[in-house]
Amino acid sequence: MKYAFYSILLPIALVMGFFVQTAQAEPLQSTIRVGILSNQENVLISADTKFEILNGETGQLLVHLAAGEKATISVKGKTLSINGKLTKAVKISVLTSKNNGEHYIEVNKKQYRGNIDIHITHGSAVLTIVNTLPIEQYLYGVIAKEMSPSWHFEALKAQAVAARTYALYNLNKHQNDDYDVCATTDCQIYDGRESEVTQVIKAVDNTSGQVIMAQGKVIPAYFHSSSGGYTENSENVWGTYESYLRGVVDYDQNSPLYKWEKKLTTNELTAAINKAGYTIGIIKAIELPPLTSKPMNTPERGVSGRVKVIQFIGSTGSAQLTGEQLRKILGLKSTLFDVSVMVPVEQAVDFGQSFITDKKEIHRISGRPNEIIVISGFGWGHGLGLSQWGAKAMAEQGPQGDSTYFKEILKHYYQGTTIKKVF
């Protein structure tokens, strides 16, 4: 009876297990196409094993090359040429011989895992080079560009999961150019095998296939260097509300850019604001409520204190700028800052007069010589999601030897999310 009971239950369990698995683990793409180079007139290809170049559209073998042999690909008229020999192909694929261990294709003398595709860029006679490889191997070449491999292993693992999630979210971002992500800061910096480090490979392998999800969807896992003490709500940075991108307390006090300062003369500030198209004459006053304890709740600042709007009053007009506009104009590290005016008085340095009017702080600029406008800021980056310096501190201060602590770090910076293995 006992065995009969199990013999009925077991198939049911298997069937249920199957459904549970398919319902939970969404079949997500596990390879990625990385646009590693664009606008190239020609490109030099080689490999550390024998390799083949195929017509990327028909699959026809165009040339077979030995290990270390070189092929220069260029555009000739409307098709591609290989070592000066014209082909009928507009797209070619470079493949190493399979089932032969790990091998690498060289593109302009840099090594890459996976395959290389080269096509004529849409609408112009130049080349786009695309590296197609498993996302896991792509991450090997990404993480060390984002975080020091010498940092705490749980922080590296948190970064690996955030980078994997961000890559998956951005698949098809560059669909118009026939690849998923580019290899610059626009997506994530990727440098092929050159930037692979043992600790990074280990962090990627240890978190293999794990991504951050909310309501069953892969989230845009934004990350930044250091928030300056508090992260920000998404609507205050990108304008859209995301439940998982909420301002939380950060632990980034050891970041070298936790605190920074920029000093300008009235002339420099006036020139920068006017040059940016706000023709308001000589700056006479700056209106910005001061930073107070967080979370903040004012129309001018986000929860972290990041500046949403700041007012400049000039001799011929006034202008309201967003914190982001001012950050770009002055090249600031973040939009989290206070403003003060320093006036030298008889060799002593004194703070300028501050007037509280309508709950706003108005910094008057008198125009005296040597007057200095001081921007005292915190953090580096947009302040959304994971703070890398905060993750480092959490990992260092968390329970040592707990190999799941990276999840706690991620759940702190991405509120209400779950970490799931999707491939």
User: Which residues of this chain interact with Zn ion, rule CB under 5 A?
Assistant: 182, 186-187
Provide the residue count of the chain.
423
Nearer to Zn ion, 182 or 291 (CB): 182
Q: How far apart are CA 139 and CA 146, in angstroms?
A: 11
Query: What's the min distance (Å) between Cβ of 112 and Zn ion?
Result: 17
Report the nearest approach of Zn ion to the CB of residue 187 (Å): 3
For Zn ion, the closer CB: 36 or 187 = 187
Buried b / exposed e across 357-367, counting CB within 10 Å, b at 16+? eeeebbbebee
Minimum separation from the CB atom of position 128 to Zn ion (A): 13
- Least CB distance to Zn ion at residue 240 (A): 19
Interatomic CA distance for residues 413 and 387, integer angstroms? 7
In the complex with Zn ion, which residue's Cβ is closer, 36 or 336?
A: 36
In contact, 249 and 413? CB cutoff 8 Å? no
Using the structure block, give the residue that is written with the tokens 């000039």: 314
259: DSSP letter: E
Based on CB atoms, which residue is closest to Zn ion, 178 or 396? 178
Helices then strands, each counted (H, E), the chain: 9, 27
Nearer to Zn ion by C-beta: 171 or 286? 171
Question: Shortest Cβ distance from residue 176 to Zn ion (Å)?
Answer: 11
> CB 129 → Zn ion: shortest distance, Å?
14
Structure tokens of 146? Answer: 């984002």
The separation between the first and the last C-alpha atoms of the chain, rounded to the nearest angstrom, is 40
Instruction: Pick between residue 102 and residue 186 the one whose CB is nearest to Zn ion.
Output: 186
Separation between Cα atoms, residue 218 and residue 176, nearest integer Å = 22
In whole angstroms, how close is the CB of 167 to Zn ion at the nearest point?
11
DSSP state letters, 20-69: HHHHHS-----EEEEEEEEEESEEEEEESS-EEEEETTT--EEEEE-TT-
State the nearest-atom distance from the C-beta of 32 to Zn ion, in Å. 12
Q: Which CB sits closer to Zn ion, 189 or 282?
A: 189
Residue 387 CB partners (closer than 8 Å, separation 6+) = 223, 224, 225, 226, 227, 231, 250, 251, 252, 379, 413
How would you classify the pairing of strands 418-421 and 259-265?
Answer: unpaired
- Choice between 71 and 182, CB closer to Zn ion: 182
Please, what is the minimum distance in Å from the beta carbon of residue 189 to Zn ion?
10
For the chain, the C-alpha Rg in angstroms (whole number) is 27
Nearer to Zn ion, 172 or 353 (CB): 172
Query: Do 1 and 9 contact (CB within 8 A), yes or no?
Result: no
Which is nearer to Zn ion, 142 or 391 (by Cβ)?
142
**Which helix (DSSP H) or strand (DSSP E) does residue 96 occupy?**
strand 91-96
Contact yes or no for 258/281 (Cβ under 8 A): no
Residue in the block written with tokens 């992500």: 181
Considering the complex, what minimum distance in angstroms separates the CB of residue 180 from Zn ion?
A: 9
